[in-house]
Amino acid sequence: MIDIIGAGSLGLLFAGRLAATGTDVRLWTRTLEQARTIACDGITVFDKEGEIAVHVSGDTFKVAPLADWQRLNSHAPAQWIFLMTKQGAIREVLEQILPVADTTRKPEMICFQNGIGHIERIRQVWPEGVLYPAVTTEGAKRQGPASILHAGAGVTEIGWSEEQVKAQAGNFEECVLNRLLAAGFDVCLSKEIEYGMYRKLLINAVINPLTAIWRIRNGELLSDPVRLHMMRRLFDEGIQVYEAHGIRWDSAWWEQIMNVCRATADNHSSMLADVLAQSTTEVASINGQLVQMAEQAGITAPTHKVLWQLIEGMRLKEG
């Protein structure tokens, strides 16, 4: 069984496609209302043309609000967890799952969060947990409580250490890797997952805040020299931070950012979607992390800092 915590765009995409190929899935939502909708309607995945690519009925998998975790896991303990919430929700998730974590067969968690720092925070409160950092470029946009648009196929990298290879190779391959491959996901194991995490951090730090501030789709970033100039400033500041910390980077990352904008040209970034919904964004985990890394190295990242402050301020409501 695979437990997917978080029923946003990625959670629905992975749950729908895994359940469609016969994997035993439990999907955990933030609200009872969404759980009831998914149980009634099932999950529908649309392709880029708006056609139904996958539909699974609500009786194909299990769905429940996260508040029911302790009650339901006392009967059927989790084994493999896909954590697909935003970084800001991690504390709430851990408060639910840790009291009933099986001490004999500890659940193993694959963490799909944007930004950095979350693995360390989880380990602080769950030192015995078995964690796998993951990075995915799957493009998905939620259409409703139970449906998503699969805007673009991507690659999913899962961090994999030498110790984990020796201890869990067969179990992981059978229970997770092969099931993801059967569901049509392009998955690879990486012993250099930090490289992928820092690459995605910089991609998100360049694209997301500008689309959120200007309220434009990803592709529109490439339509104006002023926008490209701002993107380049963010990129160069990020590279300076990485160099100050001795973090490996590649000059090809700039062209990869351009390619992401082209491939997701019609998409709203997740940060823009949060701004439009007046929800908490992940800017602190993305641009804010780069600012903090810069300060630790004794340098500055002024453009990232301004965007971080501007976007944080946008969700504050006037009294």
User: With 80 as the cut, is the pLDDT of residue 224 above it?
Assistant: yes
> Are 125 and 94 within 8 A, CB to CB?
yes
Structure token pair of residue 316: 């504050």
CA dist 195 to 86, 243, 250, Å? Answer: 20, 13, 10
What pLDDT shows up at residue 319? 38
Mean pLDDT of 275-294: 93
Q: Mean pLDDT for the chain?
A: 91
pTM of the model: 0.88
Which range (8-12, 16-20, 71-75) has the least confidence? 71-75
> Are 94 and 67 within 8 A, CB to CB?
no
What pLDDT shows up at residue 311? 95
76-99 residue pLDDT tens: 888 899 999 998 899 999 999 888
User: Residues 249-271, buried b or exposed e (16+ Cβ, 10 A)?
Assistant: eeeebbeebeebbebbbebbbbb
Q: How far apart are CA 294 and CA 298, in angstroms?
A: 6
Site of tokens 């799952």:
97
Q: How far apart are CA 275 and CA 58, in angstroms?
A: 31
Which range (97-106, 122-131, 209-218) has the least confidence? 97-106
What pLDDT shows up at residue 170? 58
User: With 90 as the cut, is the pLDDT of residue 173 above it?
Assistant: no
What pLDDT shows up at residue 104? 52
Which structural domains are found in the chain, ordered by start?
Answer: 2-191 (3.40.50.720), 194-314 (1.10.1040.10)
Question: 10-19, 72-81, 113-122, 126-135: which has the highest mean pLDDT?
Answer: 10-19
Mean pLDDT of 166-173: 67
Mean pLDDT of 109-127: 90
User: With 80 as the cut, is the pLDDT of residue 167 above it?
Assistant: no
User: With 90 as the cut, is the pLDDT of residue 111 above it?
Assistant: yes
Mean pLDDT of 278-289: 92
Identify the CA nearest to 173 among candidates 154, 163, 188, 184.
188
Mean pLDDT of 178-189: 94
The model's confidence at residue 316, banded by pLDDT at 50, 70 and 90, is low
Task: Give all strands of the β-sheet with 52-56 in edge-to-edge order.
Answer: 52-56, 43-46, 147-152, 139-144
Q: How far apart are CA 202 and CA 197, in angstroms?
A: 9
> Are 107 and 81 within 8 A, CB to CB?
yes
Higher pLDDT, 257 or 160: 257
Q: How far apart are CA 229 and CA 235, in angstroms?
A: 10
> Are 161 and 190 within 8 A, CB to CB?
no
19-52 residue pLDDT tens: 999 999 999 999 999 999 999 999 999 998 889 9
Strand pairing report for 155-159 and 130-136:
antiparallel
> Are 235 and 210 within 8 A, CB to CB?
no
Assign 44 to helix, strand or coil.
Answer: strand
Q: How far apart are CA 138 and CA 313, in angstroms?
A: 29
The model's confidence at residue 272, banded by pLDDT at 50, 70 and 90, is very high
Which range (20-29, 105-114, 219-228, 279-288) has the least confidence? 105-114
Higher pLDDT, 295 or 153: 295
The model's confidence at residue 165, banded by pLDDT at 50, 70 and 90, is low
